[in-house]
């Protein structure tokens, strides 16, 4: 550690102080929708989005998306959406949250179209259905279109700025600390309310590919769980990390499969050509993955999506659909010298992700998307309890959180921020840059991923979990956390961002392991599958497993919450 750094006024770090009414961490679908909602309802309210990348192409939807997978087509209702989500999630979801999303799905989807994103239409002008709850869009430019809407709304955006922690004062959240991804700048941002919309976490586990392809993954590799980690450090309650989300994807390129499975009704077959799903309990999303893992274990893999019976016309349609979301798959077909319908597509499971948009890991919130910490709201992939919300559900939660934050700030003033606390955070944030030497962020990231893959149900273990290995993961993660906190070295600003990404990932991994240890049953095969407790046990475990982190002594407490009953308001 370079001692001069503390003695010479922050070693050239410029401190920038900003004030806003509402600060939003993350300029993705949820954050942008929250910003626009606030500005539409109250033009004089100041909104600042803190975005790690650039809002035009940040986060999950950087490449685009080719369907809105949560939309109520004719015959569907918010209640039938809830029923479907419950069925897919072994019955355990936050009914109140899911229903509130269902009630808004169509309105927010239509709003997206009004901003200028092209939708595929039937002759009568209605949306083209891809399934009961899905419509096809031409969504390559979804992110630029949303970014334009934010710009028009008058919300301010701070691009290339990395949030590090919430600021607490008078028992509530009063702002956000952040630093510039490009220059030695530290931000102290005062806000009357903060909305967390950072997205979930990839890269906790060893991914499918290595070397030059290590980031060839389904979920955005730049979503690292910072929102979870910031919430944990502030004492916010989290829920259901143990229901990891594992995506069934196209081998190697990790492209989504819905385009083929739903879009052109492919058959899911094993190496013997058998439609193997018939052998399993049902055809739910987790079961399609579990069945594929099981077929491979039984020696009947590889498994495929087979649409070779389809006409040549399907090829062009598929290529265009994938160009709008996951263009890399076209390179795969070109490199293999085949057209899409020439051969079945091999499928496999992804690394486990910690997300609230497909799975249900994240902040424990009430119906207004208020976290358990006063002044802190959350929306989108970072919110737990409401799986299968997808893009449009993130819009819906952004809207709900935006309106609730607007209501909350009415009688709030800008609070004083302790200079000592600011100094401490600045030191914490920049220390890796000013250390003389130490391992690089990448080295620790690979160490984390190895621990999780080896002991916490990664790809190499077919996602299976057991107590003894999880205890080993717990032990090794504590050691790793200690190492990272005291030794990590960033050679430049880019590596400083990565240093905080791995710091946050390690905390998320620690909390995840506690959740995995605590639930002693198998509720969501593959996502959460305990070989030492292979049965589902509704009598004992039809509950939410929640957690709280104590920053003072670095400890994690598990809290059980009943599954029944609507949590309309947190006790204050």
Partner 1 sequence: MPVKVDKNLCNGCGNATEPRCVRVCPGDLLFKDSANRCAVRDPRDCWDCAACIKECPRQALEMYLPVQIGGRGATLKAKSEQGVLSWFLTKPDGTTETFIIKTRTEKSQS
Q: Is 337 left (phi over 0), alpha (psi -120 to 50) or beta?
A: left
**Of the two residues 246 and 325, which places its CB atom closer to partner 1 in the complex?**
325
Site size with partner 1, rule: CB under 8 A: 52
The β-bridge relationship of strands 248-250 and 238-239 is unpaired
- Out of 23, 24, 56, 382, which residue is the one contacting partner 1 (CB under 8 A)? 56
Q: Does 338 bind partner 1 (CB under 8 A)?
A: no
Q: Does 332 bind partner 1 (CB under 8 A)?
A: yes
Q: Does 222 bind partner 1 (CB under 8 A)?
A: yes
Distance CA 571, CA 325 (A): 42
Q: Does 419 bind partner 1 (CB under 8 A)?
A: no
The β-bridge relationship of strands 47-50 and 156-158 is parallel
Distance CA 392, CA 483 (A): 40
Which DSSP state fits 159? -
- Local structure of 334: helix, strand or coil: helix
**Of the two residues 384 and 432, which places its CB atom closer to partner 1 in the complex?**
432
- Out of 2, 14, 15, 116, which residue is the one contacting partner 1 (CB under 8 A)? 116
- Out of 497, 512, 517, 545, which residue is the one contacting partner 1 (CB under 8 A)? 497
x/- map, 62-81, partner 1, by CB under 8 A: xx------------------
Q: Least distance from C-beta 134 to partner 1, angstroms?
A: 20
- Out of 111, 300, 319, 472, which residue is the one contacting partner 1 (CB under 8 A)? 319
**Binders in 152-171 for partner 1, by CB under 8 A:** 160
Distance CA 92, CA 60 (A): 26
**Of the two residues 112 and 545, which places its CB atom closer to partner 1 in the complex?**
112
Contact by Cβ (8 Å): 48, 24: yes
Q: Does 141 bind partner 1 (CB under 8 A)?
A: yes
Count how many Cα atoms sit within 13 Å of the Cα of residue 275 in the half-sphere of its side chain: 9
Residues in the chain: 572
**Of the two residues 316 and 471, which places its CB atom closer to partner 1 in the complex?**
316
- Out of 1, 15, 298, 334, which residue is the one contacting partner 1 (CB under 8 A)? 334
**Of the two residues 91 and 116, which places its CB atom closer to partner 1 in the complex?**
116
Q: Least distance from C-beta 117 to partner 1, angstroms?
A: 7
With CA atoms as reference, report the closest residue to 254 among 204, 291, 295, 202.
Answer: 202
x/- map, 198-217, partner 1, by CB under 8 A: -----------xxxxxxxxx
- Out of 58, 69, 100, 285, which residue is the one contacting partner 1 (CB under 8 A)? 58
Peptide bond into 302 cis (omega under 30): yes
**Of the two residues 236 and 250, which places its CB atom closer to partner 1 in the complex?**
250
With CA atoms as reference, report the closest residue to 418 among 170, 48, 185.
Answer: 170
Q: Least distance from C-beta 519 to partner 1, angstroms?
A: 32
Q: Is 171 left (phi over 0), alpha (psi -120 to 50) or beta?
A: left
Q: Does 184 bind partner 1 (CB under 8 A)?
A: no
Residue 501 CA, chain-centre distance (Å), reads 14
Checking 553-556 for CB contacts under 8 A at 24+ apart, the result is 554/481, 556/510, 556/511, 556/514
- Out of 6, 10, 42, 57, which residue is the one contacting partner 1 (CB under 8 A)? 57
Distance CA 127, CA 140 (A): 17
- Out of 154, 235, 302, 328, which residue is the one contacting partner 1 (CB under 8 A)? 328
Q: Does 181 bind partner 1 (CB under 8 A)?
A: yes
**Of the two residues 210 and 532, which places its CB atom closer to partner 1 in the complex?**
210
Distance CA 105, CA 396 (A): 6
Stretch in the footprint of partner 1 (CB under 8 A) among 140-148, 281-289, 370-378, 420-428: 140-148
Q: Least distance from C-beta 360 to partner 1, angstroms?
A: 24
**Of the two residues 223 and 481, which places its CB atom closer to partner 1 in the complex?**
223
**Of the two residues 40 and 423, which places its CB atom closer to partner 1 in the complex?**
40
Contact by Cβ (8 Å): 120, 113: no
- Out of 53, 355, 405, 508, which residue is the one contacting partner 1 (CB under 8 A)? 53
Q: Does 324 bind partner 1 (CB under 8 A)?
A: yes
Q: Least distance from C-beta 82 to partner 1, angstroms?
A: 32
Q: Least distance from C-beta 212 to partner 1, angstroms?
A: 4
Give the burial class of 446: count Cβ atoms within 10 A of its Cβ; 0-12 exposed, 13-18 middle, 19 or more buried: middle
Distance CA 79, CA 76 (A): 8
The beta strands (E) that lie in 75-221 are given as 129-131, 134-139, 156-158, 161-169, 172-180, 185-196
Distance CA 326, CA 320 (A): 10
**Binders in 249-278 for partner 1, by CB under 8 A:** 252-253
Strand partners of residue 131: 134
Q: Does 132 bind partner 1 (CB under 8 A)?
A: no
Q: Least distance from C-beta 220 to partner 1, angstroms?
A: 7
Q: What is the 3-state secondary structure (H, E, C) of 31-80?
A: HHHHHHHHHHHCCCCCEEEECCCCHHHCHHHCCCEEEECCCCCCCCCHHH
Catalog residues that contact partner 1 under the rule CB under 8 A: 53-54, 56-59, 62-63, 113, 115-118, 138, 140-141, 144-145, 148, 160, 181-182, 209-217, 220-222, 252-253, 319-320, 323-324, 326-328, 330-332, 334-337, 494, 497
């Amino acid at each position: 550690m370079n001692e001069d750094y503390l003695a010479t006024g922050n070693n050239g770090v410029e401190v920038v102080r900003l004030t806003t009414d509402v600060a939003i961490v993350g300029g993705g679908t949820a954050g942008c929708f929250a910003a626009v909602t606030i500005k539409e309802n109250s033009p004089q309210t100041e909104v600042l989005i803190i975005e790690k990348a650039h809002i035009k192409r940040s986060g999950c939807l950087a490449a685009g998306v080719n369907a809105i997978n949560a939309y109520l087509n004719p015959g569907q209702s918010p209640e039938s959406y809830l029923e479907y989500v419950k069925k897919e999630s072994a019955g355990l979801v936050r009914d109140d949250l899911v229903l509130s999303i269902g009630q808004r799905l169509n309105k927010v989807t239509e709003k997206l179209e009004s901003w200028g994103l092209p939708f595929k239409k039937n002759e009568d002008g209605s949306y083209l259905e891809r399934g009961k709850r899905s419509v096809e869009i031409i969504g390559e430019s979804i992110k630029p279109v949303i970014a334009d809407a934010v710009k028009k709304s008058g919300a301010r955006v701070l691009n290339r700025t990395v949030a590090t922690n919430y600021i607490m004062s008078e028992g509530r959240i009063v702002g956000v600390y952040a630093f510039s991804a490009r220059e030695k700048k530290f931000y102290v941002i005062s806000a009357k309310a903060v909305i967390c919309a950072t997205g979930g976490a990839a890269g906790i586990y060893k991914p499918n590919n290595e070397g030059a392809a290590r980031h060839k993954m389904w979920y955005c590799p730049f979503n690292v769980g910072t929102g979870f980690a910031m919430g944990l450090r502030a004492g916010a309650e989290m829920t259901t990390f143990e229901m990891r989300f594992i995506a069934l994807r196209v081998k190697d390129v990790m492209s989504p499969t819905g385009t083929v499975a739903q879009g052109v009704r492919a058959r899911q077959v094993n190496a013997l050509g058998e439609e193997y799903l018939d052998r399993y309990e049902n055809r739910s999303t987790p079961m399609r993955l579990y069945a594929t893992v099981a077929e491979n274990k039984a020696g009947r893999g590889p498994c495929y999506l087979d649409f070779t019976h389809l006409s040549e016309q399907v090829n062009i349609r598929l290529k265009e659909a994938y160009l709008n979301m996951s263009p890399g798959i076209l390179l795969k077909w070109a490199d293999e010298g085949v057209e899409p319908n020439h051969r079945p597509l091999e499928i496999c499971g992804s690394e486990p992700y910690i997300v609230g948009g497909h799975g249900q890991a994240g902040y424990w919130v009430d119906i207004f998307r208020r976290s358990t910490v006063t002044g802190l709201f959350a929306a989108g992939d970072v919110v737990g309890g409401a799986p299968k919300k997808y893009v449009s559900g993130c819009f819906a939660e952004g809207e709900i959180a935006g309106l609730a934050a607007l209501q909350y700030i009415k009688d709030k003033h800008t609070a004083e921020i302790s200079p000592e606390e600011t100094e401490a955070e600045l030191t914490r944030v920049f220390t890796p840059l000013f250390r003389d030497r130490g391992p690089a962020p990448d080295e620790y990231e690979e160490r984390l991923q190895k621990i999780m893959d080896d002991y916490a149900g990664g790809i190499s273990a077919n996602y299976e979990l057991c107590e003894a290995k999880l205890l080993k993961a717990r032990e090794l993660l504590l050691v790793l956390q200690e190492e990272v906190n005291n030794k990590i070295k960033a050679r430049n600003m880019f590596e400083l961002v990565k240093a905080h990404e791995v710091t946050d990932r390690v905390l998320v991994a620690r909390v995840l392991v506690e959740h995995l240890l605590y639930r002693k049953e198998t509720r969501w095969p593959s996502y959460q599958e305990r070989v030492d407790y292979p049965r589902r046990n509704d009598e004992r475990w039809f509950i939410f497993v929640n957690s709280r982190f104590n920053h003072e002594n670095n400890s994690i407490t598990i809290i059980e919450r009943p599954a029944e009953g609507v949590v309309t308001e947190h006790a204050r």
